[in-house]
Amino acid sequence: MLIKSPIRGLQPSTVYRVEIDAEIASNVPQGCIGVGGSPGEGVYVKLGAVGIEPNAVIDSSDNWLRLNIDYGNQSESGAHARVVGNLANSQQCDAGANVLWELKRVSTEGQKIFAQTDENGTLWVFAGTDSAFEGLTQYYLTTLRIRVESKEPSLP
C-alpha cells in the first residue's frame, strides 16, 4: 500500500537529494504474533522518490500486479524506497483490546535518496508499507514533509 504525489516545477532531467519525514498513527502494539509475520514489526514503512509515476502493472510472467519501481521486498529497501520503520507502537501486545492509537515518526534521514526528475521536471514522492503480515492492516499517514535539494556535483 502506498500514497504518491508529484512534485512539479523542478529542473528537468536533474538529480535531486530527497529527504522525507512522516508521521503515522498506529494502533498496533509491539510483540504480537500473526499469520506470516507480526501485525506491527512485520509491516514495514517505506518512503521514497522516483522520476516516474509509481503504478501497479501486470507482470506478464505470472499475471500478478507489481509496482513499476524498485520498492524493495518486505524488510529490504529498494533503489527507489527506504525502509524507515514498522507499524508497531510503544504499547505491548498483552494490552488486549485496550490498545490506543499513537503517533509514530519515521524519516529517511541518514539514508541517501537520489532521484532524477523526468523531462518535465517532475519527481514523484511516496509513502507506504510492505507487509509480511497476512491480515488486516490499517494506519493513518498524518503528516508528510519532503525536502528536495539539487545534488552537488562530485569533485574529482
Q: Burial of 48 by CB count in 10 Å (0-12 exposed, 13-18 middle, 19+ buried)?
A: buried
Is 86 in contact with 43 (CB distance < 8 Å)? Answer: yes
Q: Burial of 109 by CB count in 10 Å (0-12 exposed, 13-18 middle, 19+ buried)?
A: exposed
Q: How confident is the model at residue 143 (pLDDT cuts 50, 70, 90)?
A: very high
H or E segment and range at residue 123: strand 123-131
Q: How confident is the model at residue 37 (pLDDT cuts 50, 70, 90)?
A: confident
Residue 96 has pLDDT above 70, yes or no: no
The pLDDT, as a whole number, for residue 7 is 97
| Whole-structure pTM value | 0.91
Q: Spell out the domain ranges in the chain.
A: 2-149
Q: Taking Cα atoms as reference points, which of 7, 41, 17 lies closest to residue 131?
A: 41
Residue 156 has pLDDT above 70, yes or no: no
CA distances from 138 to 101, 102, 142 (A): 11, 13, 13
